[in-house]
Amino acid sequence: MTRTKTLLTALLLLLAAPLAAQLYHPGEVLDYRVSYRAKMFPNTEIGAVQIATSEEEFEGKPCYKVIGEGRTLPTYRWFFNLVDIYTVHVDPDSLRPVHFRSDLHEGDYTFRSTYRYDWEQMRVHTRWQSRQRPIREKVLPLTRESMDAISLFFSLRSAEAEQFRAGEPRTLQMVLQDTVRHLHFRFLGREEKKIRNLGRFRTLKFDCQLGTSEGFSFTDGTVFTIWISDDENKIPLYLESPVRIGSINAYLSGYKGLKYPLKSRIK
């Protein structure tokens, strides 16, 4: 279940995958289901994730607000109850994050963190606390490419597919409490993909690997493949990550408020 928990959290953090063409669009809501697949378990749904965008004032200034929320489904809460909520406020002019907050409840484990960005000084102030431990703080340097992963989900949506060459590796920088994690990815090409209950889509396929907290060490990092809609929305449609036995999968189960028609869907 530890790996399942990791993938539920990783989905919220990594659905950012390598591109999508629209930036923040208030009213957009993306719903996902997370499932476990193995020989004895063909497709067992264990969790749900929602990412929703709205507009809200933060500290007296108008901002985009994005909430990413992951939960185990009711059937499995007796075994492992997970509720992870991530919230980010973004400046609508610079499209850079202003403030990030996480509130995680995973069984008996709780964890809270906040990041306050200072783009003038190119640094971020992080503050975090887990159950029965004192509050810890740190100041990390920023580059123009580094930010929390929920913000990456949207900032990268300005990229165009034509900017990527098949097999060419790239690296992103993700701010976490006391370190910066690196996400390697490669564009594998275009592919048709069937999404459960939604039909077939034209997609852009990527191979991704999240490094460990040891910087560029990827030996024990999370590995996953992601398929993204090949249209102006560029929304993540399907994610698959291998585990010791079987795989963990996440797929788009519903959507509303998209900025563009979902032209990648094959009728």
Alpha helices in 40-165 (DSSP H): 149-155
Q: Rounded to two decimals, what is the model's pTM?
A: 0.83
Higher pLDDT, 23 or 182: 182
Residue 27: pLDDT band by 50, 70, 90 thresholds? very high
Instruction: Please list, in sequence order, all residues whose beta carbon lies within 8 angstroms of the beta carbon of residue 189, skipping any fewer than 6 positions away.
Output: 166, 204, 205
Torsion on CA atoms 150, 195, 20, 143, rounded to nearest 10: 40
Cα distance between residue 8 and residue 78, in whole Å: 17
Residue 108: predicted pLDDT: 83
**Residue 159 pLDDT greater than 50, yes or no:** yes
Residue 152: predicted pLDDT: 59
Total of domains in the chain: 1
Residue 32: predicted pLDDT: 93
Residue 131 DSSP one-character state: T
Let me know the angle formed at the C-alpha of 170 by 168 and 173, rounded to the nearest 5 degrees. Answer: 175
Q: Identify the CA nearest to 209 among candidates 220, 194, 198.
A: 220
Cα distance between residue 267 and residue 249, in whole Å: 24
Residue the block writes with tokens 């659905």: 15
pLDDT in tens, 57-73: 999 999 999 898 988 88
The average confidence (pLDDT) of the chain is: 79
> What range does the domain containing 233 cover?
2-266
